[in-house]
C-alpha cells in the first residue's frame, strides 16, 4: 500500500467499553483506565471509578510513521486499575489484562466496527478475565510539507517514552508474491522473543535441508507404460552461500532472507532459472504517415511480429528462449538479433536495426529495468526514422516476464500466468420474527388456520420458513426462524422477502420487501443486532399491506466454507479485524511436468497437450502460463502464501488448456490432468522438499496415470516458537462455529452456494478460471454418493481399529503361552504394577513415549500425494465407476437403475445389521439394572454385593494379583467353552424383539 504524497496517516483507536473485569481494589471492584501503545506513542484514557463494566467512548489518535509497513506494526492496549482509588496494595497499578492488535487488522475509516477482544494474560500466573471493545480505523490527512517532518505528539498522562535509536539495516520481506523493504530496529530484546541469534554473515544459522525422494510406485491399471522415475536435483545457485529463516519480533511475521556473496536476493531459489532474451519495443518516430507499422524480431531460432500500431506506439515486450546457463555463467552465444519495421498491409520494409547477442547486457533482479534508447532505423530510403527499444538477457524472475509475449506460450490472451483472489464471502443471517396486519383472504372455510410462510431470495439462493403460528386469532403470525445465505463482495445484490399464503393449492402473494445487502449491518462480536419493522409492498395504489419484523446482519465471525472441511486451506473469519497474525510463509515452486499424455488431437494420429497449473491456498489462486504443445512442460514459477494455521492443505491441479485463443472451443471445458494435495503441518520447518508426484485421474474406464509433476515446497516458520505451537491449542474454526453452530446439512448447502459464487467471480477475470477448474480444485462433489468412497471409508475405520485388534492378539498370545519368556516377563511386570500402583500412569506414558521414539525412524520423508490403494481406485469395478460419474437425477436406463438400487439395498442391509448389533450390546448393558429380566438383574446385583464384601475384606492387591494370574493362566487350566460371564451377558434382553 503506497501512501499519496503530502499526506500523513493517522490511526484512531476508540476505547468503547470493557466487560466483566476482575476486582482489584480490595472492595470488590476496580477503577480501570486504558493505556494504548503504538509506534512509540503512548496514550491513556480517563479512569472510571469503581466500575467492573466501564464505558469510556474515548478516541486516541496516533500518527503512523511508516504507512507502507503499517500492517506489520503492533498496537498494544493495556487495562490497569488505578491505585489512587480503593484500598489495593502494592506500589504499581494493578494489571487487568491486555490486547495486542496487529496492523493487518486495521480498517479504513468508514469500514470499522466495534470488536470485543478477550483480555490476555501478561504471564502464566496472571489472573485475568473480561473483554474490551475497540473501534480501530485509519485515514490519510493532507498536510503542508513543513508539517510532515513534525514529531509525533506526546501524551502528558502516559508513561515516559523510551527513546529508540535510528532504524537501519533494511530487511527484505517477501509476502504474497511481493518483495519490499522494511526497516528493522537494530536492538531486539531476545529474552522476550525466543529465537536464535544470527550473525551478519549468517554462519550461525543452519542451512535448509533439501529432501529429494520419490513416492512409492503407483500401480498401473491401464496399459500405459510407467514413466521413468528420475530424481529431481536442486538447481545450482552460484550467487548464494546459504539460506536461512529469521524471525523478527518487531514486525511479528516471517521474513525469509537469503545471505548472498554478491549481496543480491534471488526470488526464484526454489526453481530453475530459465534464460530469456527480452526485447522491449516502445515506439517509433520519423515514419511515413500513411502506413500501419509492425515490428518483426528475428533470431537464429525465432521469428515473431508485434501488433499493428497507427501512432506508432507498441509498448510490447518479447521473451524468447535463450541458451541455458553453463557453469553458472551466461555463454557468449553467437548470432544476431534483427529488428525490422514493416508496413502491416504491404509488408514494405521501413527500416531495421541489428544487435550482436554476445553484446546484449544481462539483467538480474533486483536490478532496475533497462532504460529504452533511440536507435536509427537503417533502410534504403533517405529517411528511415528512429525506434525506441531495449534489449537484455534475463530470467523468468524479470518483472517484464509475466506480461511479455513468450515463445513457449505464444497466445497471450489465455496463456499468461495470473494471480486471482477469491471474493470476500459473508453469511447473511435473516431472522424472521413476526408479521402483522396481513391482508388475508376472507373466503376461507370455517376453522381453517391460514398457512403463512416467508420466502427469502438472494441471487440464486432461496429459502422458506416453516408455517407461522397465529396468535389470538388475529392477523399476527410468529416464526423466529433463522435463514442463512452466502453474500459476496461487492455487496451489490438485494434480499427479497415474499410473504405467501399457502393455505390453498395456489400460493397467494400477500406482499414483499426488497432490502439492499449493502445496507445491512455487519457484525463482529456476540451482541444481538437490533431488529426492525419493514413495511410490505405490493398491490396497486400504494395501499398498506402490513409489516414484518426482521433481524438482519452480515456475520463476520464465521468462516464461510467453500472447500471440503477435510481439505480446507483457510479457517479465518470473514471480518479482517478478527484475524490473527501469520505464523509463517508457504513457498511453492512449480518446476514442470513430464510424461504427459496427449489430450487433444493434432495432425492426424499425433496429439498435443497445452498444460498449465493452478494452485490454491486460502483466498489466493495462482495460475501458471500455458506451455503449448509439450508433453514435458517446464514452468519454473514460484509463488508464496502467508500461513495462519498449519492444519491446512495446499492444492495443485494440472489442466489442459482448450481456450488458447480466447474462444470457447465449442464450450468444451479444460480437461483435468491430475491433482496433488499437500498438508502444511506435514512439512518440517525451513526444509525444501523437491519431489515428483504422479498425476492420477479416475475416469469411467478406471484409474489412469496422466504423467508426473515436479514441485518444490518450503514452509518457512520458526520451528518451536511459542506463537507457532500455541496454534495447536486453539479451536480450528472461529468461535461462532461453536457458540451458534450450523447444521451439517445446512453447512453443506451453504458450501455449495459459496463454491458457485467463487466460480462465477473467477469466471469474470481475464483470463478466466473456468467453473470446471474451480469445482475440481474445491472438491465440490466430495459429498456425492460413491460405492468406492464407501469402501475406502470402511477400510479406513478397520485400519484405525487395527491397533486394538493387534493388542487383543498380543494378549491372546500371552494367555496361550506362545512365548514362555514373554509371558513370565508380563507376570513380573504385572506384579510390580500391582504392588506399586502409583507407577501405572507414568509407565503408560513412558510406553507411549517409547512408541513415538520408535516410530521416528519410520516418519515420512516427503509430503504424501494421492494414495490409490487408500482410495480403492486400483481394482474398482467399472459399473461402480459408471454409477459414481452418473448425474443427479440419473440418465441411465431403468433396468440399470433397478440393478444399482438393489445393490444399494443389500449394502444398506449389511450396514443396518451392524448398527443393530452395536445397539444390542448397549441395550444389554442397560438391561443389567433396568429389571427387564428380573432374574438376570437379581443375579447381577447379588454378584455386585458379593464383590463389594470381598473387596472390603480382602486386600485389593491380593484381588488384583488373583484376577491377573487367573486371566494369564496356562491353557491346560482353561476351558475351551465361553466363560459364564460372557454367556450371562449374551442372554440379557435387548429391544430388538420389540421392532416391527
- Give 542-586 pLDDT, tens digit per residue: 678 889 999 999 998 999 999 988 889 999 999 888 888 888 899
pLDDT of residue 650: 94
| Averaged pLDDT, 904-929 | 83
- Do residues 339 and 297 touch, judged by C-beta distance below 8 A? yes
Query: Which range, of 208-212, 523-527, 738-742, averages the lowest pLDDT?
Result: 208-212
**Does residue 801 surpass a pLDDT of 60?**
yes
pLDDT at 177 over 60: no
515: phi then psi, degrees, rounded to nearest 5:
-120, 120
C-alpha span between 171 and 677 (Å, rounded): 32
Mean predicted confidence (pLDDT) in 253-262: 34
The percent of residues above 70 in pLDDT, for the chain, comes to: 81
In terms of phi and psi (left: phi > 0; alpha: psi -120 to 50; beta: otherwise), the region of 733 is beta
Q: CA–CA separation, 867 vs 215, rounded Å?
A: 10
Omega before residue 352 within 30° of 0, cis: no
Q: Tell me the residue ranges of DSSP E strands in 649-786.
A: 649-656, 671-679, 687-699, 702-716
Residues 602-630 have a mean pLDDT of 87
Residue 263 has what pLDDT?
A: 34
Residues 846, 852: Cα–Cα separation, whole Å: 10
- Cα 854 to Cα 265, 353, 719, 848, distances in angstroms: 41, 70, 22, 10
Tell me the pLDDT band of 658, cut-offs 50, 70 and 90.
confident
Cβ(226)–Cβ(597) under 8 Å? no
- Name the pLDDT band for 189 (thresholds 50, 70, 90): very low
Euclidean distance between CA atoms 292 and 310, whole angstroms:
5
Peptide bond into 160 cis (omega under 30): no
Give pLDDT, residue 863: 82
Residue 681 has pLDDT above 80, yes or no: yes
Cα distance between residue 633 and residue 321, in whole Å: 13
Residue pair 216/696 in contact (Cβ under 8 Å)? The answer is no
Beta partners for residue 697, in sequence order: 704
Res. 474 pLDDT band, cuts 50 70 90 = low
Q: Choose between 424 and 793: higher pLDDT.
A: 424
The pLDDT confidence band at residue 853, using thresholds 50, 70 and 90, is confident
pTM equals 0.75
pLDDT tier, 248 (very low <50, low <70, confident <90, very high otherwise): very low
Residue with cell 521416528: 856
Task: Measure CA 568 to chain center.
Answer: 6
Q: Could you give the CA distance from residue 99 to residue 36 in angstroms, rounded to a whole number?
A: 10
Give the confidence band of 237 by pLDDT, cuts at 50, 70, 90. very low
Phi/psi at 227 (nearest 5 deg)? -80, 155
The Cα 321–Cα 516 span in angstroms is 53
Q: Identify the H or E element spanning 501.
A: strand 494-501
Q: Which of the given ranges, 276-285, 810-819, 961-970, has the highest pLDDT on average?
A: 276-285
- pLDDT-wise least confident of 129-133, 236-240, 674-678: 236-240
What average pLDDT score do residues 885-891 get? 77
Backbone angles phi, psi at 762, to 5 degrees: -70, -20
> Which helix H or strand E contains 429, and what residues bound it?
strand 425-436
At residue 721 the predicted structure's pLDDT band, cuts being 50, 70 and 90, is low
Give the whole-angstrom CA distance, residue 138 versus residue 107: 6
- Pick 844 or 485 by higher pLDDT: 485
Query: Mean pLDDT in the chain?
Result: 78
Residue 438 and residue 477 in contact, taking contact as beta carbons nearer than 8 Å: yes
User: At residue 513, does pLDDT exceed 90?
Assistant: yes
Q: What is the DSSP string of 184-234?
A: EPS---TTTS------TT-TTSPPPEEEE--PPPPP--SSPPPPP-PPPPP
Query: Lowest-confidence range among 13-27, 434-448, 476-490, 678-692?
Result: 434-448
In the chain, pLDDT over 90 holds for what percent of residues? 18
* C-alpha distances out from residue 936 to 410, 460, 933, 945, 948, Å: 84, 61, 5, 14, 18
pLDDT in tens, 139-166: 888 776 555 454 544 444 444 434 343 3
Higher-pLDDT residue of 569, 889 = 569
- Using alpha carbons only, give the angle 705, 707, 712 rounded to the nearest 5 degrees: 125
Say whether pLDDT at 897 is over 90: no
pLDDT of 193: 34
Q: Is the pLDDT of residue 797 over 90?
A: no
Q: How far apart are CA 575 and CA 612, in angstroms?
A: 33
Query: Taking a C-beta distance cutoff of 8 angstroms, is the pair 101, 77 a contact?
Result: yes
pLDDT-based confidence at residue 105 (cuts at 50, 70, 90): confident
Amino acid at each position: 500500500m503506497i501512501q499519496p504524497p503530502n499526506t500523513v496517516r493517522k490511526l484512531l483507536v476508540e476505547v468503547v467499553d470493557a466487560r466483566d473485569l476482575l476486582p482489584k481494589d480490595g472492595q470488590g471492584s476496580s477503577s480501570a483506565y486504558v493505556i494504548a501503545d503504538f509506534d512509540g506513542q503512548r496514550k491513556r484514557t480517563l479512569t472510571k471509578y469503581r466500575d467492573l463494566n466501564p464505558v469510556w467512548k474515548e478516541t486516541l489518535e496516533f500518527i503512523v510513521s511508516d504507512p507502507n509497513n503499517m500492517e506489520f506494526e503492533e498496537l498494544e492496549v493495556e487495562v490497569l486499575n488505578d491505585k489512587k482509588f480503593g484500598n489495593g496494595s502494592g506500589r504499581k497499578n494493578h494489571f487487568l489484562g491486555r490486547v495486542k492488535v496487529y496492523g493487518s487488522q486495521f480498517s479504513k475509516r468508514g469500514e470499522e466496527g466495534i470488536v470485543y477482544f478477550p483480555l490476555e494474560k501478561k504471564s502464566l500466573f496472571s489472573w485475568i478475565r473480561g473483554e474490551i471493545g475497540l473501534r480501530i480505523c485509519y485515514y490519510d490527512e493532507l498536510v503542508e510539507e513543513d508539517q510532515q517532518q513534525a514529531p509525533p505528539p506526546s501524551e502528558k498522562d502516559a508513561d515516559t517514552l523510551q527513546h529508540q535509536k535510528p532504524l537501519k539495516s533494511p530487511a527484505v520481506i517477501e509476502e504474497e508474491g511481493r518483495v519490499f523493504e522494511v526497516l528493522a530496529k537494530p536492538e531486539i530484546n531476545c529474552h522476550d522473543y525466543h529465537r536464535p541469534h544470527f550473525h551478519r554473515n549468517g554462519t550461525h544459522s543452519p542451512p535448509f535441508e533439501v529432501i529429494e525422494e520419490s513416492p512409492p510406485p503407483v500401480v498401473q491399471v491401464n496399459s500405459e507404460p510407467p514413466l521413468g522415475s528420475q530424481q529431481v536435483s536442486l538447481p545450482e545457485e552460484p550467487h548464494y552461500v546459504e539460506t536461512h529463516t529469521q524471525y523478527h519480533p518487531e514486525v511479528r511475521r516471517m521474513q525469509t532472507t537469503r545471505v548472498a556473496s554478491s549481496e543480491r536476493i534471488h526470488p526464484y531459489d526454489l526453481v530453475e532459472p530459465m534464460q530469456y532474451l527480452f526485447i522491449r519495443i516502445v515506439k517509433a518516430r520519423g515514419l511515413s504517415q500513411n502506413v500501419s507499422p509492425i515490428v518483426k524480431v528475428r533470431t537464429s531460432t525465432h521469428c515473431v511480429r508485434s501488433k499493428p500500431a497507427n501512432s506508432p506506439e507498441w509498448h510490447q515486450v518479447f521473451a524468447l528462449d535463450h541458451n541455458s546457463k553453463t557453469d553458472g555463467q551466461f555463454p557468449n552465444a553467437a548470432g544476431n538479433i534483427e529488428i525490422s519495421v514493416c508496413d502491416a498491409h504491404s509488408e514494405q520494409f521501413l527500416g531495421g536495426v541489428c544487435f550482436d547477442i554476445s553484446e546484449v547486457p544481462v539483467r538480474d533482479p533486483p536490478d532496475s529495468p533497462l532504460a529504452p534508447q533511440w536507435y536509427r532505423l537503417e533502410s534504403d530510403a533517405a529517411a528511415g526514422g528512429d525506434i525506441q527499444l531495449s534489449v537484455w538477457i534475463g530470467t523468468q524472475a524479470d518483472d517484464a516476464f509475466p506480461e511479455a509475449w513468450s515463445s513457449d506460450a505464444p497466445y497471450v490472451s489465455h496463456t499468461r500466468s495470473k494471480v486471482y483472489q477469491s471474493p470476500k464471502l459473508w453469511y447473511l443471517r435473516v431472522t424472521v420474527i413476526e408479521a402483522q396486519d396481513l391482508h388475508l383472504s376472507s373466503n376461507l372455510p370455517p376453522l381453517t388456520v391460514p398457512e403463512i410462510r416467508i420466502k427469502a431470495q438472494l441471487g440464486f439462493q432461496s429459502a422458506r420458513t416453516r408455517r407461522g403460528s397465529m396468535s389470538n386469532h388475529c392477523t399476527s403470525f410468529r416464526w423466529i426462524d433463522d435463514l442463512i445465505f452466502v453474500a459476496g463482495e461487492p455487496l451489490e445484490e438485494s434480499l427479497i422477502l415474499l410473504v405467501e399464503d399457502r393455505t390453498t393449492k395456489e400460493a397467494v402473494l400477500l406482499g414483499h420487501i426488497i432490502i439492499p445487502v449493502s445496507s445491512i449491518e455487519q457484525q463482529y462480536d456476540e451482541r444481538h443486532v437490533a431488529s426492525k419493522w419493514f413495511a410490505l409492498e405490493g398491490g396497486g395504489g400504494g395501499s398498506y399491506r402490513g409489516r414484518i419484523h426482521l433481524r438482519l446482519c452480515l456475520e463476520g465471525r464465521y468462516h464461510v466454507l467453500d472447500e471440503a472441511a477435510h481439505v480446507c486451506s483457510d479457517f479465518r473469519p470473514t471480518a479482517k479485524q478478527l484475524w490473527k497474525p501469520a505464523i509463517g510463509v508457504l513457498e511453492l515452486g512449480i518446476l514442470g511436468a513430464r510424461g504427459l499424455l496427449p489430450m487433444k488431437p493434432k495432425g492426424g494420429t499425433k496429439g498435443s497437450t497445452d498444460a498449465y497449473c493452478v494452485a490454491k491456498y486460502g483466498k489466493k489462486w495462482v495460475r501458471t502460463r500455458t506451455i503449448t504443445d509439450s508433453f514435458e512442460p517446464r514452468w519454473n514459477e514460484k509463488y508464496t502464501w502467508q500461513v495462519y494455521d498449519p492444519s491446512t492443505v495446499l492444492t495443485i491441479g494440472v489442466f489442459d488448456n482448450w481456450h488458447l485463443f480466447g474462444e470457447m472451443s465449442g464450450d468444451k471445458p479444460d480437461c483435468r490432468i491430475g491433482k496433488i494435495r499437500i498438508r502444511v503441518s506435514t512439512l518440517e520447518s525451513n526444509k525444501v522438499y523437491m519431489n515428483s508426484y504422479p498425476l492420477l485421474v479416475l475416469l469411467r474406464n478406471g484409474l489412469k496415470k496422466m504423467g508426473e509433476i515436479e514441485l518444490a515446497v518450503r514452509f518457512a516458520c520458526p520451528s518451536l516458537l511459542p506463537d507457532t505451537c500455541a496454534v495447536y491449542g486453539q479451536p480450528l474454526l472461529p468461535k461462532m462455529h461453536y457458540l451458534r453452530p450450523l447444521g451439517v446439512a445446512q453447512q453443506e448447502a451453504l458450501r455449495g452456494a459459496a463454491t458457485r459464487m467463487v466460480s462465477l467471480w473467477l469466471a469474470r477475470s481475464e483470463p478466466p478460471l473456468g467453473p470446471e477448474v474451480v469445482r475440481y480444485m474445491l472438491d465440490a462433489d466430495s459429498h456425492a454418493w460413491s460405492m468406492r468412497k464407501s469402501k475406502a471409508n470402511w477400510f479406513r475405520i478397520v485400519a484405525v481399529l487395527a491397533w486394538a485388534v493387534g493388542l487383543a492378539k498380543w494378549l491372546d498370545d500371552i494367555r496361550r503361552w506362545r512365548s514362555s519368556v514373554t509371558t513370565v516377563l508380563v507376570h513380573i511386570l504385572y506384579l510390580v504394577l500391582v504392588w506399586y500402583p502409583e507407577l501405572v500412569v507414568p509407565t503408560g506414558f513412558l510406553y507411549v513415549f517409547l512408541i513415538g521414539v520408535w516410530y521416528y525412524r519410520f516418519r515420512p520423508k516427503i509430503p504424501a500425494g494421492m494414495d490409490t490403494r487408500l482410495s480403492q481406485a486400483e481394482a474398482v469395478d467399472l459399473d461402480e465407476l459408471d454409477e459414481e460419474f452418473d448425474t443427479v437425477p440419473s440418465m441411465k436406463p431403468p433396468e440399470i437403475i433397478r440393478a444399482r438400487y438393489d445393490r444399494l439395498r443389500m449394502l444398506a442391509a449389511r450396514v443396518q445389521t451392524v448398527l443393530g448389533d452395536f445397539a444390542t450390546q448397549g441395550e444389554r448393558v442397560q438391561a443389567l439394572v433396568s429389571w427387564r429380566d428380573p432374574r438376570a438383574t437379581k443375579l447381577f446385583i447379588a454378584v455386585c454385593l458379593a464383590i463389594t464384601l470381598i473387596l472390603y475384606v480382602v486386600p485389593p492387591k491380593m484381588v488384583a494379583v488373583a484376577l491377573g494370574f487367573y486371566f494369564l493362566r496356562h491353557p491346560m487350566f482353561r476351558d475351551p467353552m465361553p466363560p459364564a460371564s460372557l454367556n450371562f451377558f449374551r442372554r440379557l434382553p435387548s429391544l430388538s424383539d420389540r421392532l416391527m
